[in-house]
Amino acid sequence: MSVDTATVRHIAKLARIAVSDEEVAALEPELNNILGWIEQLQEVDVTGVEPMTAVIPNQLRLRDDVVNDGNKRDDVLANAPNAEHGFFAVPKVIE
């Protein structure tokens, strides 16, 4: 599998990352290099090997159904470029 410049632009757009033409030109071989490594890894026969989900034996921890967070509107909004009346305010998006 390999990517062309159109795919690089598509991926960048999906990730909302602006890339210049020069960057696209540089990213294409870089991404293909990475994909090459992945392809090499895929040659390993993993038949019968359980996928590893943690490096040490570990179980998902669950939280109790208790309200112990929230009520920090000012903190939540502190980094927002724009906030009004307790809401985040963003350029109008209407579908």
Residues at the site binding another protein, with contacts judged by CB under 8 A? 10, 13-14, 16, 53-54, 58-73, 75-77, 82, 84-95
Q: In whole angstroms, what separates CA 30 from the centre of its chain?
A: 18
7-25 b/e with 16+ CB inside 10 Å = b? ebbeeeeeeeeebeeeeee
Stated as kind and residue range, the H or E segment containing 83 is strand 83-84
Per the CB < 8 A criterion, the answer to whether 3 and 35 are in contact is yes
Q: C-beta of 58: minimal distance to another protein in Å?
A: 6
Is the CB of 22 or the CB of 85 nearer to another protein?
A: 85
Q: C-beta of 29: minimal distance to another protein in Å?
A: 22
For the record, the structure tokens of 22 come out as 């020069």
Q: C-beta of 9: minimal distance to another protein in Å?
A: 11
Q: C-beta of 19: minimal distance to another protein in Å?
A: 16
